[in-house]
């Protein structure tokens, strides 16, 4: 090729026309070769099944599904299960797939070949208001159309069975897990309840809920102590009064003068009053007691005093009656007691008895006051322990409330899981439904004869253009005056036309005819090959 030479589109067109056979022949040969090669390639048949993911028929607002994975993730998991070696090996043996390959290669290579022949294509959402519905295709490629159909059908059925089994297993596993967690939560809750109950029993009376009752008990005990103090003060005042009366009675009286001899009965003069007997004193005391009982309460001191006097006189009367039945010596003269002295001595005995009663009453009230103060101290100790018990109970009840919340949450989740499991058992949950079952393919999808033929023709065209370009590149002769002027930088003085003899002209004509005939023969042969291959394919 001359350096710096430029070709116009017209020049390129003329070059292509002059060298048309260099383009036509490679195109014909490439097309024929592509058709021949495509005919000899093995035929591949593809069968496919369209499966739609049908969402559960009960709204998730009422029953939530146990399987929460997205459709894409679940399809990926199911695909891994379907393409496992054990599953594919079983299908190969059941359907007698790849017999020639099994005779030459180990089962591992056969399984790898089957994995390459299986395709799972996710189609996405199927549209409509339900965004969860989707569809996917299972495709299988085989050398036999019937084998492709059977294998695709088997893969689809296994895919659906795996999905049903996996969803059921997920529901059952969820139920078992929640049941075990629920039992553990129940056990811990019962243990915590026992701890709280034991704590309440152990520190009964010191609990915060009992603080108001303890405070009320302290107030009641203090009121009783105050009442006892007032009663003790009154008893002390009575004791002082009795002691003063007793002191007054214990003052000795002047010795009386001896009385004159008692005149005989019937003689002139006055007769002294005889002393009262015990029976008479008893009757007078009873009469006095009846009068006092009508005036005072039974707990009045005078009433109590006369009751004791009546009891003592009754005992004295019994003694005198017993002594009267036995003979006794006459009393000495100096043992005679005047009625005033007898009344004074009786009054002294009564006052001493009152002192004893008052002392016993004071002792009882002091003991009661001591007991009440011990009660107040115990209740006050319980009140003082309330903050500590409140802190302990807060900790115990906090753990108890947490465990109770956990237990209730697990119980609700267990019920939801049971509903989801029942949903799967009744087959009203999410399902895979076959829309287009696998069919026997009528035509092979591979090899694509049209694409192979087009590729062969394109290759022939590229080869022809390359040959034309190579011829132009290797040509170094001048074809026009402009080439000489551009390359040699010299003006052209004259041009001599090409002078060809008659023999050279005839030789050129024969060579041109031979090239045309040879080119036509090659093209014809290629057309025959193409036609034969096309008819053979049909």
Residue 129 pLDDT more than 50?
no
| Element containing residue 533 per DSSP (H, E) | helix 502-537
Kind plus residue range of the DSSP H or E element containing 247: helix 211-249
Q: Are 444 and 43 in contact (CB under 8 A)?
A: yes
Q: Give the least confident one: 132-136, 296-300, 471-475.
A: 471-475
**Predicted local confidence at residue 328, as pLDDT:** 47
Mean pLDDT of 288-300: 75
pLDDT at 112 (0 to 100): 92
Let me know: does 244 contact 420? Beta carbons within 8 Å.
no
387-412 mean pLDDT: 84
Distance from the first to the final alpha carbon of the chain = 49
Looking at residue 169, its pLDDT comes to 80
Longest dimension (CA), the chain: 232
Q: Which residue's structure tokens are 């040699």? A: 488
Min mean pLDDT across 120-124, 200-204, 233-237, 335-339 is at 335-339
Cis ω for the linkage preceding 447 (within 30 of 0): yes
Cβ atoms of 476 and 38 within 8 Å: the answer is no
At residue 73's C-alpha, the angle toward residues 70 and 78, to 5°, is 120
- Tell me the average pLDDT of the chain: 75
pLDDT at 478: 56
Question: How far apart are alpha carbons 84 and 427 in whole angstroms?
Answer: 26
Nearest to 87 by CA among 151, 169, 44, 136: 151
Residue 124's H or E segment, with its range, is: strand 118-125
Distance of alpha carbon 78 from alpha carbon 80, whole angstroms: 5
- Gap between the Cα atoms of 326 and 177, Å rounded: 105
Mean pLDDT of 458-463: 81
pLDDT tens by residue, 250-280: 654 444 433 444 444 444 444 444 445 667 7
Higher pLDDT, 28 or 183: 183
Read off the pLDDT of residues 462-475 as tens digits, 9 standing for 90 and up.
887 787 777 666 66
- Measured CA to CA, the distance from residue 362 to residue 423 in angstroms comes to 84
**Quick one: pLDDT at residue 66?**
57
Q: In which residue are the tokens 């030789």 written? A: 507
CB-CB contact of 525 with 32 (8 Å): yes
Q: For the residues 126-148, what does the mean pLDDT come to?
A: 74
203 touches 389 (CB < 8 A): yes
Q: Which residue has the higher pLDDT, 140 or 126?
A: 140
Distance CA 47, CA 445 (A): 10
Cα 75 to Cα 82: distance, rounded to the nearest angstrom: 10
Q: What does DSSP assign to residue 334?
A: G
Question: What is each CA distance from 143 to 37, 88, 118, 150, 444, in whole angstroms?
Answer: 17, 18, 13, 13, 9
Least confident of 158-172, 176-190, 324-338, 363-377: 324-338
> What is the DSSP code string of 463-487?
HHHHHHHHHHHH-----SHHHHHHH
**Distance separating alpha carbons of residues 247 and 119, to the nearest angstrom:** 129
Q: Where is average pLDDT lowest: 82-86, 89-93, 259-263, 440-444?
A: 259-263
pLDDT at position 493, please?
A: 66
CA distance 338 to 253: 13
How far is Cα of residue 496 from the mean position of the Cα atoms in its chain? 106
With a cut of 50, say whether residue 215 has pLDDT above it. yes
The answer to pTM > 0.75 is no
SS3 call for 139? strand
CA-derived radius of gyration, the chain: 68
């Amino acid at each position: 090729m001359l350096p710096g030479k430029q070709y116009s589109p017209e020049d390129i067109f003329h070059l292509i026309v002059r060298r048309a056979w260099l383009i036509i022949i490679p195109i014909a040969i490439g097309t024929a070769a592509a058709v021949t090669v495509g005919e000899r390639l093995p035929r591949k048949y593809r069968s496919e099944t369209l499966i739609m993911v049908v969402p559960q028929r009960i709204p998730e607002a009422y029953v939530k599904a146990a399987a929460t994975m997205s459709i894409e993730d679940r399809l990926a998991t199911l695909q891994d299960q379907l393409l496992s070696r054990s599953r594919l090996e079983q299908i190969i043996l059941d359907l007698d797939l790849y017999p020639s390959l099994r005779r030459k290669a180990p089962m591992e290579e056969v399984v790898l070949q089957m994995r390459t022949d299986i395709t799972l294509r996710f189609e996405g959402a199927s549209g409509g208001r339900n965004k969860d519905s989707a569809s996917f295709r299972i495709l299988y490629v085989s050398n036999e159309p019937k084998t492709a159909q059977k294998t695709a059908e088997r893969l689809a059925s296994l895919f659906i069975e795996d999905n049903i089994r996996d969803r059921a297993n997920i529901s059952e596993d969820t139920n078992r897990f929640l049941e075990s967690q629920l039992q553990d939560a129940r056990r811990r809750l019962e243990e915590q309840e026992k701890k709280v109950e034991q704590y309440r029993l152990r520190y009964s009376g010191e609990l915060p809920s009992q603080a108001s009752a303890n405070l009320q008990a302290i107030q009641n005990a203090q009121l009783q102590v105050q009442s006892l103090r007032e009663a003790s003060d009154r008893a002390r005042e009575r004791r002082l009064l009795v002691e003063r009366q007793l002191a007054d009675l214990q003052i000795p009286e002047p010795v009386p003068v001896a009385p004159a001899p008692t005149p005989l009965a019937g003689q002139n003069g006055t007769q002294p009053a005889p002393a009262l007997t015990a029976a008479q004193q008893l009757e007078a005391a009873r009469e006095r007691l009846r009068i006092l009982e009508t005036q005072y309460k039974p707990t009045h001191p005078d009433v109590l005093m006369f009751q004791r006097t009546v009891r003592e006189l009754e005992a004295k009367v019994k003694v005198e009656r017993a002594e009267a039945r036995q003979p006794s010596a006459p009393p000495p003269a100096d043992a005679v007691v005047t009625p005033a002295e007898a009344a004074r001595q009786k009054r002294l005995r009564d006052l001493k008895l009152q002192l004893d009663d008052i002392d016993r009453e004071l002792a009882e009230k002091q003991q009661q006051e001591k007991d009440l103060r011990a009660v107040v101290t115990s209740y006050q100790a319980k009140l003082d322990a309330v903050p500590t018990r409140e802190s302990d109970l807060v900790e115990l009840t906090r753990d108890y409330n947490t465990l109770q919340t956990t237990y209730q949450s697990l119980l609700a989740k267990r019920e939801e899981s049971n509903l989801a499991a029942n949903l799967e058992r009744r087959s009203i949950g999410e399902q895979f439904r076959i829309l287009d079952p696998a069919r026997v393919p009528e035509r092979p999808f591979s090899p694509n004869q049209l694409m192979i033929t087009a590729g062969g023709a394109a290759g022939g065209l590229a080869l022809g253009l390359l040959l034309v370009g190579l011829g132009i590149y290797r040509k170094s002769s001048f074809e026009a005056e402009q080439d000489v002027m551009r390359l040699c930088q010299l003006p052209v003085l004259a041009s001599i036309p090409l002078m060809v003899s008659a023999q050279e002209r005839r030789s050129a004509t024969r060579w041109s005819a031979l090239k045309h005939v040879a080119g036509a023969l090659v093209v014809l042969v290629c057309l025959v090959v193409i036609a034969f291959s096309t008819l053979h394919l049909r």
